[in-house]
Amino acid sequence: MNRRLTALAGCAALALTALMPAAAHAAKPDPTKPGATVPGTNRKITAAQANACFVWQGGVTASGGHHFADPTATVPPTTPDDWTSPGVYAPGQVRLSARQTIEPDISGTDRYGYVVIGDALYYSSYQEYGDGTIDNKSLSRIGGGWGSFTFLETSDYESPDWSKKIYRSASYALRNDGVLFRWNVDGKGWHAAGSYPGFSSVKSMTLIAKTPTYDTFLANTRGGALYTIRIPAASPMKPVVKQVRTRTWQGFETLSAMGCGQYGTLLLGIDKDTKKNYLYAVGHANGLSTVIQSRGEVAGNLSDPVNFRWVTIPVYDTANGE
């Protein structure tokens, strides 16, 4: 299910004192350099984009297309690429989506990940060729009982040390009664790995850290607070919740985060009511002492009915925000 890519590395560092420069991946070409190809496109990285972090934001449009945009922390913020692959799903078919992987292949890109359609969970995959043609679309049903879930995400951790390889995959889903569920995922399927109540006030969640031993989400509540939720990989499932901000974050229906530098995060907030989007540079999470700097408003419509984040294969999709 998870393929290997030898030509994709991590993000460039954002110019922010709270964030440390990202280390280059040894012997791997850096696609964030000026002139490099934007993953999944024939477009080229601009010099301005190469010098700033960005979020590979995705969405499923009302007509069933896959949306791709890259809000970038230039000054002011810009979105160098904004386009849609039409006809991936039927209109209104997908209700929830976890992160979706874009992986270049010899003829274009492979795109795959988990989605919820109606009451069931599916593994979605297809190929898009260089001319925009979509081929080999597939929806593989995994199981039912998903009608009451409001959030879905997957955390795939893969160590960069090839001699001491560590890999783990966990999926998380929030039910409408505030219970957060976890499954461990392997080649044999999804395996229940605990649940925890108490998250009924959560409005949106986004993954900001994944390690061999824990995953951490950043979540906003309907009351306006911002929290980190660290979930140890060990059982039983006992999340550690820390408040990051006490108010003003209730407006965002979607939070989307991407690693920036060695210990930081670029955070995108999408307010679907006002159709406005904002970028924030977030330092290493440390409760109320966490550094958060506004990078400004991002123009454009990112308020798709279903939002998710595009990712590379796990070894290059680093997240060290806590």
User: CA-CA distance, 110 to 132, in Å (whole number)?
Assistant: 12
Instruction: Report CA 296 to chain centroid distance, whole Å.
Output: 20
pLDDT of 153-184, one tens digit each?
Answer: 999 999 887 777 899 999 999 999 999 999 99
pLDDT of 50-100, one tens digit each?
Answer: 557 999 999 999 999 999 999 999 989 999 999 999 999 999 999 999 999
pTM for this model (two decimals): 0.85
- The pair of structure tokens assigned to 169 is 């995959």
Question: Reduced to 3 states, what is the DSSP secondary structure of residue 290?
Answer: coil
User: CA-CA distance, 259 to 156, in Å (whole number)?
Assistant: 14
Beta bridge partners of 175: 149
Side-chain-facing half-sphere of 60: CA atoms under 13 Å: 24
CA proximity to 92, closest of 60, 51, 53: 60
CA proximity to 73, closest of 57, 84, 97, 60: 57
